[in-house]
Chains A and B, each alone.
Chain A
Amino acid sequence: MTVRRGEHGAILLEGPCPVEDAETLLSLLIAEPGAIVDWSACTRLHTSVVQVLLAVRPPIRGTCPDPFVGQWLAPQLPSGNPRSA
Chain B
Amino acid sequence: MAAVNDLIEPFLAEARELIEAATDDLIALEKDPADASRIESVFRSFHTLKGSAGLLDLGPMAFALHAAEDLLSVIRSGGLAFSGLIVDACLGALDRVAAWVSAIETAGALPDEAARQATELAEELRAFIPGSAVASHEAGPGEAPAWAREIASRAPRLAAGAGGDGGVLTAIRYAPNADCFLNGDDPLAALARVPNLAAVELATRAPWPAPERLDPFSCNLVMLAVSASPRDEVAPLFRLVADQVELVEVAAVPPAGDGETVIGSLARSIIAEQQTLLREDHPAAVRAGVERAALLSVANALRHEGLVAGSDTLREAAEAGVADGLGLIASVLEPPAAAPQPEPAASPAGTGSRHVRVDAERLDSLANLASELTVARNALAHLVAQAEVGAEDGAFLQRLRDSEAAIGRLAGELHRSVMGIRLVPLSGVFRRFGRPVREIAAQLGKDIAFEVAGEETEADRAIADSLFELLLHVLRNAMDHGLERPEDRAAAGKPARGRVELAARTERDRIIITVSDDGRGIDPAAIKRTALQRRLITPEAAQTLGDPEALDLIFAPGFSTAAAVNDLSGRGVGMDAVRVGAQRLGGRVEVDSRVGRGTTIRISLPQTMMLTSLVSVRAGAETWGIPVDAVVELQRVERRRITKLKSRRAVTWRDRTIPVLSLTERLGAGPEREAGREVDMLVVTVAGEAVGLVVDGVAGRLEALVRPLGGVFSGLPGLAGTTVLGDGRILLVLDLEEVLQ
Binding site for B on A (CB under 8 A): 19, 22-23, 25-26, 29-30, 33, 44-48, 50-52, 54-56, 68, 72-73, 76
User: Can you name the residue of chain B whose Cβ is closest to the Cβ of A58?
Assistant: B211
Chain B window 457-499, contacts with chain A (Cβ cutoff 8 Å), 1 for yes, 0 for no = 0000000000000000000000000000000000000000000
Q: Residues of B contacting A50 with CB < 8 Å?
A: 188, 202, 221
B216–A22 contact, CB under 8 A? yes
Contact A51 B219 (CB under 8 A): yes
Q: Contacts A54-B221, A72-B200 hold; do A47 and B211 have CB atoms under 8 A apart? A: no
A26 touching B211 in the complex, CB below 8 Å, given contacts A47-B219, A72-B197? yes
Question: Which A residues lie within 8 Å of B186 (CB)?
Answer: 19, 46-47
B217–A54 contact, CB under 8 A?
no
Bound Cα distance from A81 to B208, whole angstroms:
24
- On chain B, the number of residues with a Cβ less than 8 Å from chain A's Cβ atoms is 24
A54 neighbours in B (Cβ, 8 Å): 202, 204, 208, 221
Query: A16 CB to closest chain B CB, in angstroms?
Result: 11
A-B contact pairs, 22 of them (CB 8 A): A22-B181, A22-B217, A25-B216, A26-B214, A30-B211, A44-B189, A45-B188, A46-B188, A47-B176, A47-B185, A47-B187, A47-B189, A48-B181, A48-B216, A48-B219, A50-B188, A50-B202, A54-B221, A56-B211, A68-B188, A68-B191, A72-B197
Contact partner, A52, options B185, B204, B216, Cβ 8 Å: B216
Partner of B216, one of A23, A44, A73: A23
| Residue numbers in A under 8 Å from B209 (CB-CB) | 55
**Binary contact track B193-221/A, C-beta < 8 Å → 1, others 0:** 00001001110100011011010110111
Chain A residues with Cβ under 8 A from B197's Cβ?
Answer: 72
Is B221 touching A29 in the complex (CB atoms < 8 A)?
no
Q: Are B212 and A30 in contact (CB under 8 A)?
A: yes
| Other-chain contact of B220, A23, A29, A51, A72 (Cβ < 8 Å) | A51
| Bound Cα distance from A44 to B193, whole angstroms | 13
A30 cross-chain contacts in B, Cβ below 8 A: 211-212
Residue from B185, B202, B212, B220 in contact with A73 in the complex, judged by beta carbons closer than 8 Å: B202
- Chain B, 610-635, CB within 8 A of any chain A CB: none
Q: How far is the CA of A46 from the CA of B204 in the complex (A)?
A: 17
Q: Let me know if A68 and B192 touch, CB within 8 A.
A: yes
Minimum CB distance partner of A24 in chain B: B216
Residues of B within 8 A of A26 (CB): 211, 214, 216
Asked whether B188 lies within 8 Å of A19 as measured between CB atoms, the reply is no
Residue in contact with A55 in the complex, picked from B176, B191, B201, B214, CB distance below 8 Å: B214
Bound complex: CA A55 to CA B200 (Å): 18
Verify B211–A29 contact, CB threshold 8 A: yes
**Shortest distance from the beta carbon of B205 to any chain A beta carbon, whole Å:** 11
Cα distance A78–B598 in the bound complex, in angstroms: 36
Residue in chain A with minimal CB distance to B207: A55
